[in-house]
Copies of this chain bind each other. A is one copy, B any other.
Amino acid sequence: MFEGVPAATAASVAASLQERKSSHPFDQALALQPLGAHAPDAFAGSSSAAYWNMVGPFGGTTAAIAVQALMQHPARLGEPLSLTVNYAAAVGPGDFQITARPVRTNRSTQHWSIELTQPDATGAASVFMTATAVTAVRRSTWGSQDTPIPAVACPQECAVQTRPGAPAWLDRYELRPVRGPLPQLLDGRGDDSLSQLWLRDAPPRPLDFPALTAMADAFYPRVWLRRALRVPAGTVSMTVYFHADTSELSRSGSGYLLGQASAQTFYKGFFDQSAQLWSEAGALLATTQQIVYYKE
């Protein structure tokens, strides 16, 4: 970003940006403190009220915290390639501990095991989230983006979604539905599960791996659209594949992403969601899947 700028100036610009950036609610939600040399894989954090969902923090932030732990780990090799996050229980308010352990480091890939714990009623550490991730050093190769961005209206032509009384985390995103908004008429007569929307952080914030991770979880439950009914639902496991490096992400700046999500099947209490996230310029930055619990 600072190519061609003298080093001293670049450093002062970076520091100033960092200062502004650190006051963003997303950066506050992701603030992690290393626990020190005796526990090099462990970090302490605190649940964010600003991203509160129904019974715990927005799962996107929990996933982003797993990525943030990697990003801060001094032994990290390369950049995020894949992440699977399993939501074992609703994270509570207050402090948590996250460990990100590099279990195998190869020449160009590194494998991570991650756990988020909080004390249970007895004070013992209880697991609330497990994750695995792979980071990788990318090399220039032949490439082809075979899934172009859908032809849709530009963000400015799509009205911002407002949901008075919605959970706090929804106020942390500017969501501009293109197709498949949250149904208002709950008559049980839905017929598909495809949503498209423009989204970005509110207030805007330069895109990075944690932010992209969180946005992979920004879609409301597909079963609400498919059935036009709001039944209880919650993500059990989410996988994100990153198809971008830092320089590609920086090209998005704080612009909009186009998200698209749909389900393939709803079977005995669980449905899947497949989704894509493109930059406004049309680069497919991430593809993601989740398996989601639903009731009734």
The reply on A19 being an interface residue by CB < 8 A is: no
Judged by a CB distance under 8 angstroms, whether A81 is at the interface is yes
Q: How far apart are A4's CB and chain B's nearest CB, in angstroms?
A: 24
**A295 touches B (CB below 8 Å):** yes
- A127 close to B111 (CB less than 8 A): yes
B106 touches A192 (CB 8 A): no
Instruction: Name the B residues within 8 Å of A227 (CB-CB).
Output: 142
A96 at interface, CB cutoff 8 A: no
Interface check A9, CB cutoff 8 A: no
Q: Is A284 an interface residue (CB 8 A)?
A: yes
Contact A134 B237 (CB under 8 A): yes
Other-chain contact of A267, B82, B131, B143 (Cβ < 8 Å) = B143
Q: A89 vs B107: C-alpha distance in the bound complex, in angstroms?
A: 11
- Chain B residues in 8 Å Cβ range of A130: 103-104, 111, 113, 132
The answer on a CB contact under 8 Å between B144 and A269 is no
Least Cβ–Cβ distance between A153 and chain B, in angstroms = 23
**Interface residue from B115, B136, B146, B263 paired with A266 (Cβ < 8 Å):** B146
Chain B nearest Cβ from A220, distance in angstroms: 17
Interface pair B143/A109, CB less than 8 Å apart = no
Q: A270 on the interface (CB 8 Å rule)?
A: yes
The segment from A21-29, A57-65, A240-248 found at the interface with B is: A240-248
- Report the count of interface residues on A (CB-CB < 8 A): 61
Q: Which residues of B contact A245 (CB under 8 A)?
A: 268
Is there an interface contact between A131 and B132, defined as CB atoms closer than 8 Å?
A: yes
Residue of B nearest to A244 (CB): B267
Residue numbers in B under 8 Å from A127 (CB-CB):
103-104, 111
Task: Tell me the bound Cα distance from A87 to B274 in angstroms.
Answer: 23
Q: How far is the CB of A30 from chain B (nearest CB, A)?
A: 22
- Which residues of A come within 8 Å of B, CB atoms? 81-82, 84, 86, 88-89, 103-104, 106, 109, 111, 113, 115, 126-128, 130-132, 134, 136, 138-147, 192-193, 226-227, 236-237, 239, 241, 243-245, 263-270, 272, 274, 276, 284, 287, 289, 291, 293-296
Can you report 13 A-B residue pairs in the complex whose CB atoms are below 8 A from each other?
Answer: A82-B291, A84-B132, A88-B103, A103-B127, A104-B130, A132-B237, A138-B267, A143-B266, A145-B266, A146-B226, A146-B264, A245-B268, A267-B284
